[in-house]
Amino acid sequence: MSQNFDVCVIGAGPGGYVAAIRAAQLGLNTAVIERQALGGVCLNVGCIPSKAMITAAYFLHRAQHEAPEMGFEFQGEIKVNMKKLVTWKQSVCDRMSDGVAMLLKANKITVIKGEATFKSAQELEIKSAEGVQKVVAKKFVIATGSRPIEIPGFAFDEKNILSSTGALALEQLPKRVAVVGGGYIGLEISSYLAKLGAEVEVIEATAGVLTGAADPECVQVVQKQLKRAGVKVHTNAKAKSYKVAGKGLEIRFDIAGKEEVLTVDKIMVTVGRRPNSDQMNLKGIGLAIDERGFIRVDAQRRTNLSHIFAIGDIAGQPMLAHKASHEGVLVAEVIAGQNRAYDVKTVPAVIFTDPEIASAGWTEEECKAKGHSELKIGKFPFAANGRAVSMRETEGFVKIIADAKTHLVLGVHIVGPEASNLISEAVLAIEMGATLEDLALSIHPHPTLGETMMEAAEAALGHAIHIIQRPLNKGNGGGHARANP
Amino acid sequence: MATREVNLPDIGEGVTEGELVKWLVKPGDRVEPDQPVAEVMTDKATVEVPSPVAGVVQKLLRQEGDTIPIETAMLVLETDGVESSKGSSHKAPPAAHATVANAPPPVAHTMTMASGSSATTLGTTKPGGGIGGSVDVYPPPASSKTLATPGTRRLAREFGVDINTLNGSGPLGRVTREDVIRAQHGSTGAGATVAGRPTIQMPPKAAYQGPAGSKEERVPLRGIRKKIAENLQMAKQVIPHFTLMEEVNVTELVHFRAQAKAAGEKAGVKVTYLPFVMKALIATMREFPMFNASIDDAAGEIVYKKYFNIGFAADTPNGLLVPVVKNADQKTIVDLSREISELAIKARDGKLSLEEMKGATITITNIGSVGGVYATPIINHPEVAILGMYKITDRPVWVGGEWKPAQFMNFTITCDHRLIDGAVAANFMKSFAAKVEQPSTLMLAMV
């Protein structure tokens, strides 16, 4: 006996559960299959738990370093109970995951727990502790995501060698941690571990951290903060091997042919993620997969088998939860017969380092490559924003890049407090085809961090109020910052 | 060393693709920045595509005769730089898309069909062609140059309108909701697509097969010839044409022009009849504004133009081209003569820019220098009329009881009958002829 559905979604992460809900909203008989927890990597071992930990570390850091300046007096040392912290973090994840379960149930979606494999292009076999069942569906949506990449000699055991998943679950703070890979995941976790009190050293193979992930000027600000927080970064460094040495671990790495050894308690490897396309017998049913392991899809996220769709990390870069959710809605609507396609101007990216980095649209280099030879660039520092000063968070800036002739906003790069929350305005601006004037002439509430977006647009136009720009209408130099009253 | 793809750049407003006419380089050639690598034909202009960087040509990705969408790769250069790059570098391109263009997707195994337990009720499993990113979905996603809000983009998709082909009426060429709605309403007939070109149903492409063994040569229909064929076929299909013919006594004009020619020579300008005819035409169009108009089929509106851009048909080695004298009403006979001669030389040498062939409000075709009594020209859509001028002949005229020698030129006015009635055309011609016959009256209307 097999169960029949209109749509079967495999994977209940931010792509899959969203696809299932929209399909159900459109009246389709929908199932979703999940082998682990509802919400996928994002809600359980990714975005959400890392943000919980980052917030906790931020509180501690603020209490230790900022609060005394405001007159707070603490009796003795402020300590963190790691076990309690991890329990709280887990409660955050559980709450989110339970929320997904509730939504799936309310939408009358059949949730099947287990590991799915395609027996044929029309039939899935799902194995779980309860046994094996079969599912047949008219349409399938593959949303099984990605997993951390392992490197030779550093197989994940989540005891000595941690993936991001293991790092997030640590119930005891390691004293010394080596982090292999200075990408955004590595740096997010490094930052909070360092704030909680660990000694962190990052081993990065390229010449810098966050290579290609963010605007270089934004990265500089984060690098400075990392240094201040005591995180040591080794660049052009290649991790070779490790061995257990007494109670600790010895990790060996090469810098320009010279071997270095570091003794640590834990090694975390965060060198990127790979799509899970080697599972589920996808190749066996003839699904086209590219050389990087992504399932080939068209603008409707349809694979070479016309009744199978793929979304999220497994369907291509950028591997970001919000892209997956957008695609989830898209495929459900395509399946319901609506004419939809992936048709966006930009996928924003956010990095929760200290301070945060967020971007939408193109970098200067990309603008030039796209034929915008002359640009107007406006930069406004948080040091000149009243709210940022009152928050004691003055590092960073908002940078807006626009076409010099049309003033169309082409890219926005933010490094600073709440960058992740500020970027949405930039996304809307780019999607709507807004100009610098549109941003500058929209009243932004005072006193908020959001004013920096308006001021950066004014700066690009050559006349921001709260930085000194002279002469008017000439150049867009940064000028001298002074606080916004 | 690194490789880099060179794209067909965005050539100008509204141009979405070009036809590769000729490669100017071959694999192994060294190119410098800005060195032309290919001739590409768009609309009616042939443009040279420059290389953005220095390097050695590794591979040509397209063949002569291929139609290439803008911003897609044409050739691969081995550059002197250190970093490999794709031709375009939008932030975080979906990886699946970046590579698929080069490799056709594997064909699905048909055996998978058999193992389904209830295969007949299931979705069909077709070997999937077209996992080529955005190109296989219609309408295609908005290009990076297309300005429209997300909601408008979705509306266009739901209406089956390719938003990239619309001329946006909003600020900076933004495509508005209303533009999309108009285009949808026009989609069964003529729609407001790029440069106001209607999307009309072309007749099925008929095959031709000559008698077996007959001596024939086949050459590809491409380049300017292909564009001419497409444009004229479209014009003839959209516009119900009629032509009115008239003989005009140009004896005085011949004298007048002879004087002007002598004067012009001193200024180094060759004064022909064309600028006089242009002036007479403009003066007549001021009286009959429906000749300086277009029909916006999509909107169901007549567009009266308050400017006078006169196209003139130029015979070139490559075929018919129509350069445009912009704002001809504001230019003197000497200015017009100079500009016409410059444009004609550019047309002959294939150096006309797209801009120089756009925006005509009416066209003049002049085959007087060759011969022929009359012709029935085809209107250059979206214009609504075309004036023909022919050879000057000596003829006797019966004036005041005696024969006198005179010189005559034949003119035709071909009109879009949807907008221009026969009687209106006759009155137009009468007024036009009067101006040509008496160039002195023309002076009254001159700027």
B89 vs A369: CB contact, 8 Å cut-off? yes
Tell me what pLDDT residue A476 has: 46
Q: The CATH number of the domain where A99 resides is what?
A: 3.50.50.60
pLDDT score for B14: 58
> Where are any strands of DSSP class E within B283-376?
293-296, 301-304, 310-312, 314-316, 319-321, 324-325, 362-366
- pLDDT-derived band at B445 (thresholds 50, 70, 90) equals low
Residue A466 lies in a domain: no
Kindly state the tokens that stand for A414.
């933010």
Chain-chain contact of B134 with A298 (C-beta, under 8 angstroms):
yes
pLDDT above 80: residue A362: yes
Smallest CA–CA separation between A320 and chain B, in Å?
11
Tokens in use for A197? Answer: 């009190």
- Residue A13 and residue A123 share a domain: yes
Rg (CA), chain A: 24
Note the pLDDT of residue B15: 67
Region A203-213: what's the mean pLDDT? 92
Band the pLDDT of B389: cuts 50, 70, 90. Answer: very high
Structure tokens at B256: 């007048």
User: Picking from A287-301, A382-396, B50-64, which range would have the lowest pLDDT averaged per residue?
Assistant: B50-64
Residue from the list A136, A295, A371 with its beta carbon closest to the beta carbon of B96: A295
Per the CB < 8 A criterion, the answer to whether A395 and A416 are in contact is yes
Interhelix angle A321-335/A16-25, rounded to 10 degrees, is 30
> What tokens appear for A406 in the block?
């049309």
Say whether pLDDT at A191 is over 90: yes
| Shortest Cα–Cα distance, B143 to chain A (Å) | 8
pLDDT value at residue A21: 98
What mean pLDDT comes out for the span A140-164? 96
- Compute the average pLDDT of residues B261-285: 91
Average pLDDT over residues B368-390: 91
A244 and A172 assigned to the same domain: yes
**With a CB-CB cutoff of 8 Å, which residues 91-120 of chain B face chain A?**
91-97, 99-100, 105-109, 112-119
Please give the angle made by the CA atoms of B204, B206 and B209, to the nearest 5 degrees: 165
Shared domain check, A144 and A68: yes
B371 CA to chain A: closest CA distance, Å? Answer: 48
Residues A120 and A189 grouped into a single domain: no
- Does A233 reside within a domain? yes
Examine residue A350 and state whether it is found in any structural domain, yes or no. Answer: no
In angstroms, rounded to a whole number, what is the distance separating the alpha carbons of residues B144 and A366? 12
Which residues, 6+ apart, have CB-to-CB distance to A323 below 8 Å?
A312, A347
Structural tokens at position A135? 């599912």
What residues of B are in contact with residue A300 (Cβ under 8 Å)? 137
Domain of A447, CATH number, reads 3.30.390.30
Is A446 marked active-site? yes
Contact criterion met (CB < 8 Å) for A307 and B123: yes
User: Same domain for A203 and A289?
Assistant: no
| Whether the Cβ atoms of residue B291 and residue B420 lie closer than 8 Å to each other | yes
Angstroms from B244 CA to nearest CA on chain A: 47
A258 lies in the same domain as A284: no
CB nearest to B96's CB, from A138, A294, A300: A294
Max distance between CA atoms of chain B, in angstroms, equals 103
d(CA A94, CA B329) in angstroms, rounded, equals 76
Q: Say yes or no: A44 and A123 in one domain.
A: yes
Lowest-pLDDT range of A106-120, B32-46, B331-345: B32-46
Instruction: Please give the residue of chain B at the shortest CA–CA distance from A293.
Output: B96
Q: Is the peptide bond before B211 cis (omega within 30 degrees of 0)?
A: no
Per-residue tokens: A247: 């109670």
Query: Is residue B184 over pLDDT 70?
Result: yes
Please report whether residue A447 resides in a domain.
yes
Q: Report yes or no on A340 lying in a domain.
A: no
Q: Tokens representing B138?
A: 């219609």
How far apart CA A352 and CA A188 sit, in angstroms, is 6
Most A CBs within 10 Å, among B71, B112, B146, B164, to test the A interface: B112
Model pLDDT, residue B387: 96
What residues in B contact A349, CB-CB < 8 Å?
92
Verify that A140 and A284 share a domain, yes or no: yes
> How far are the Cα atoms of A152, A154, A267, B50, B200 from residue A163, in angstroms, in the given order?
14, 10, 9, 48, 59
Percentage of chain A exceeding pLDDT 90: 93
pLDDT digits (tens, 9 = 90+) for B339-362: 999 999 988 888 888 888 888 999
List CB contacts (< 8 A) between A288 and chain B: 105-106, 128, 131
Least confident of A180-189, A269-278, B111-120, B300-309: B111-120
Structure token digits, residue B388: 């023909």
Which domain does A117 fall in, by range? Answer: 2-148+274-335
User: Within its chain, how far is the Cα of A317 from the centroid?
Assistant: 12
- Order of all β-strands in the sheet with A397-403: A349-351, A356-361, A409-416, A397-403, A375-381
CB pairs under 8 A between A and B: 175
Alpha-carbon gap, residue B109 to A285, rounded angstroms: 7
Query: Least CA distance to A407: which residue of chain B?
Result: B172
- A200 pLDDT higher than 80: yes
Q: Show the beta-strand stretches assigned E in A51-94.
A: none
Domain shared by A111 and A191, yes or no: no
**A398, A349, A346, A350: which is closest to A377 by C-alpha?**
A398
Best residue in A274, A290, A350, A359 for a mutation probing chain B (most B CBs within 10 Å): A290
Of residues B115, B130, B154, nearest to A119 (C-beta): B115
| Region of A85 on the Ramachandran plot (φ > 0 left; ψ -120 to 50 alpha; else beta) | alpha
Buried b (16+ CB within 10 A) or exposed e, A309-320: bbbbbbbbbbbb
Q: With an 8 Å Cβ cutoff, is B151 touching chain A? A: no
Residue A378, pLDDT > 90, answer: yes
Confidence bin at B248 (pLDDT 50/70/90): very high
**Which B residues in the span 162-201 are in contact with A, Cβ-Cβ below 8 Å?**
172, 174
Give pLDDT, residue B297: 84
CA distance A292 to B134: 19
pLDDT at B203: 59
Nearest-CA distance from B102 to chain A in Å? 11
**For A61-76, how does the pLDDT look when each residue is reduced to its tens digit (9 = 90+)?**
999 999 999 999 999 8
* CB-based contact A316 B95, cutoff 8 Å: yes
- How far apart are alpha carbons B243 and B226 in whole angstroms? 26
Q: Which candidate in B102, B125, B158, B174 is best for mutational testing of the A interface (most A CBs within 10 A)? A: B125
Contact B116 A123 (CB under 8 A): yes
Nearest CA in chain A to B160: A339
Residues of chain B with C-beta less than 8 angstroms from the C-beta of A299: 133-134, 136-137, 140-141
Q: Which residue of A has its CA nearest to B119?
A: A122
Q: What is the mean pLDDT of chain A?
A: 94
A476 within domain boundaries: no
pLDDT band of A481, cuts 50, 70, 90: very low
Measured between alpha carbons, how far is B106 from B103 in angstroms, rounded to an integer?
Answer: 9
Name the 3-class secondary structure at A375.
strand
Average predicted confidence (pLDDT) for chain B: 79
Q: Are residue A98 and residue A212 in the same domain, yes or no?
A: no
In tens, the pLDDT along B189-233 reads: 333 344 444 444 555 677 888 888 888 888 888 777 888 888 888
Last residue of a domain, one of A227, A242, A271: A271
Find, in chain A, the residue whose alpha carbon is nearest to that of B141: A343
In the predicted model, what is the mean pLDDT of residues A288-304? 95
Is B263 in the A-facing interface, judged by CB distances under 8 Å?
A: no
Among the partner-chain residues B115, B116, B141, the one whose CB lies closest to the CB of A299 is B141
Flag if B154 and A340 touch (Cβ within 8 Å): yes
Interface contact B12, partner A, CB < 8 A:
no
Helix (H/G/I), strand (E/B), else coil: A321: helix
CB contact under 8 A, B117 and A362: no
Of A347, A361, A433, which has the smallest distance from its Cβ to B148's Cβ? A433
Q: Rounded mean pLDDT of B405-415?
A: 95
Q: Point out the catalytic residue in the list A413, A446, A463, A466.
A: A446
Query: What's residue A63's pLDDT?
Result: 95
Please indicate whether residue B5 or residue A101 has the higher confidence score (pLDDT): A101
Residue among B109, B185, B381, B417 flagged as catalytic: B417
Instruction: Read off the pLDDT of each residue in A40-68 and give the average, rounded to a whole number.
Output: 95
- Boundary-marking domain end, from A271, A291, A314: A271
Instruction: Tell me whether B89 touches chain A (CB under 8 Å).
Output: yes
Shared domain for A7 and A100, answered yes or no, is yes
Domain end residue (candidates: A271, A305, A326):
A271
What does the H/E/C string look like for B321-344?
A: ECCEECCHHHCCHHHHHHHHHHHH
* Chain A nearest C-alpha distance from B107 (Å): 7
Nearest-CB residue to B100 (from A296, A344, A366): A296
> Could you say which of A120, A305, A359 has the minimum Cβ distance to residue B116?
A120
A203 within domain boundaries: yes
Nearest to B131 among A296, A371, A435 (CB): A296
Q: Of A469 and B249, which is predicted with more confidence?
A: B249
Question: Quick check: B134 and A342 CB within 8 A?
Answer: yes
Instruction: Report how far apart, in Å, the C-alpha atoms of A301 and of each of A304, A413, B136, B262 are.
Output: 10, 29, 11, 71
Helix axes B274-287, B333-348, angle to 10 degrees: 110
Confidence band of B447 (pLDDT split at 50, 70, 90) = low
Q: What average pLDDT does the segment A465-482 reach?
A: 60
The pLDDT value recorded for residue B121 is: 29
> Do A433 and B172 make contact, defined as CB atoms within 8 angstroms?
yes
**Position B396 pLDDT exceeds 70:** yes
Q: Which residues of B touch A287 (CB under 8 A)?
A: 108
B266 C-beta neighbours (distance < 10 Å), count: 7
* Structure confidence at residue B446 as a pLDDT band (50, 70, 90): low
pLDDT tens, residue by residue, A160-183: 999 999 999 999 999 999 999 999
- The residue with greater pLDDT, B254 or A479, is B254
What is the average pLDDT across A327-352? 96
Q: Which chain B residues contact residue A318 at CB under 8 A? A: 92, 94
Q: Between residues 27 and 86 of chain B, which touch chain A (CB distance below 8 Å)?
A: 85
Contact B150, B142 (CB under 8 A): no
Note whether A14 and A138 are same-domain residues: yes
Count of the separate structural domains present in chain A: 3
Q: Is the pLDDT of residue A47 over 90?
A: yes
Residue A227: Cβ-neighbour burial (10 angstroms; 0-12, 13-18, 19+): exposed
DSSP result, B56-83: EEEEE-S-TT-EEETTSEEEEEEESSS-
Q: Answer whether A431 sits within 8 Å of B150, measured CB to CB.
A: yes
At B65, the amino acid letter reads G
The answer to whether residue A111 scores a pLDDT higher than 60 is yes
With contacts defined as CB-CB under 8 Å, which chain A residues touch B100?
290, 296
Which residues on A lie below 8 Å from B119 (Cβ)? 122
* Residue closest to A417 by CA, chosen among A442, A440, A386, A441: A386
**For A369, which of B88, B117, B154 is closest by C-beta distance?**
B88
Q: Tell me if A416 is assigned to some domain.
A: yes
